Amino acid sequence: IVVLGYFVDRFLIRPIGSNHLAQVLLTGTYPAVPYLTYLCAGLLLGRTELHDVVVQVRMAVVGAVLALGAWFVYWVLVLQAGGYDQLMRHTPWLSEDQIDEIIVWGPSPDLPTSTWWWLLTPGPHSNTPVTLLMDLGTGLAVLGILLLVVRPNRLWTTLGAMGGRTLTLYSAHLLALATTVHYDDRPLWFAVHVTAAAVFAVLWQRTFGQGPLERGIATAVRGTRRLVLGAPARTVQSSGT
């Protein structure tokens, strides 16, 4: 998906000047197409027996292998086999410090497309195959470990309430960040955001259950499913009469 997206962005979308479309679909901070990787992984996990200890162990092991394997590929090909030199040679307008900043902190806003070697870098929000595999593997490993060791208590109940309403909380978080007031005192506003999210999630769970945006999406999905799955049934009935 990522390699195909890189090709489409460089040779099809950018030549016609559709930079906004490229950022939304392929190269932005949260591009739709590469993030299908996480969506597909979540759908797969949702169909497993997460209460099974064997499944939890497999998640932790597979996740660790994915994350470490992706980092090892970056370490070998970029840091040991000359990939870093290729980045510098094909991106001469960036200094060594700027390349290191992209690798460590991610691109701002887009990853350079001067060479395919950039697809082997692990920078945050770079959405390269290495980054996606590292993120996916880390998420799997952490989820598997937490399922193995966590037991019900007040802390985990609070985190569970927040985790069950991530769409609502993250959307509100992005809207709050758009005000830019957090730039004045970031530690304070970090604490405010976390506290507000935790309080809201727990109170909403106890009062209403499913989060507001999650409920809206679920309602739309159920309606679409009934619409799609109901059509063949009506067709068969009408043909029988």
- Write out pLDDT tens, residues 47-66: 899 889 999 999 999 999 99
- Residue the block writes with tokens 């001067």: 114
- Residue the block writes with tokens 């701002």: 108
Greatest alpha-carbon span in the chain: 74
Is residue 137 pLDDT above 80, yes or no? yes
Give the pLDDT band (50/70/90) at residue 73.
very high
Give the pLDDT band (50/70/90) at residue 19.
low
Give me the long-range contacts of 94-103 (CB less than 8 A, separation at least 24): 102/126
| Model pLDDT, residue 6 | 55
Give the pLDDT band (50/70/90) at residue 110.
confident
Q: Rounded to an integer, what distance in angstroms lies between the CA atom of residue 111 and that of residue 23?
A: 11
| Model pLDDT, residue 235 | 44
Is residue 234 pLDDT above 90, yes or no? no
| Model pLDDT, residue 241 | 39
Is residue 3 pLDDT above 60, yes or no? no
Q: Rounded to an integer, what distance in angstroms lies between the CA atom of residue 71 and that of residue 177?
A: 31
Q: Is 126 helix (H, G, I), strand (E, B) or coil?
A: coil
| Model pLDDT, residue 12 | 53
Query: What is the dihedral sign for C-alpha 153, 156, 160, 166?
Result: positive
| Residues 132 and 37: beta-carbon distance below 8 Å | yes
Peptide bond into 109 cis (omega under 30): yes
Higher pLDDT pick, 158 / 236: 158
For residues 7-18, give the mean pLDDT. 52
Q: Rounded to an integer, what distance in angstroms lies between the CA atom of residue 240 and that of residue 162?
A: 50
For residues 96-123, give the mean pLDDT. 90
Higher pLDDT pick, 155 / 122: 122
Q: Rounded to an integer, what distance in angstroms lies between the CA atom of residue 164 and that of residue 204?
A: 11
What is the CA angle 168-170-173, rounded to 5?
110
CB neighbours of residue 90 within 10 Å = 15
For residues 105-117, give the mean pLDDT. 86
Higher pLDDT pick, 170 / 109: 170
Is residue 211 pLDDT above 70, yes or no? yes
| Model pLDDT, residue 237 | 45
Q: Rounded to an integer, what distance in angstroms lies between the CA atom of residue 28 and that of residue 107?
A: 9
| Model pLDDT, residue 119 | 92
- The DSSP code for 91 is -
Give the pLDDT band (50/70/90) at residue 121.
very high
Q: Is 206 helix (H, G, I), strand (E, B) or coil?
A: helix
Q: Is 9 exposed, middle or buried (0-12, 13-18, 19+ CB in 10 A)?
A: buried
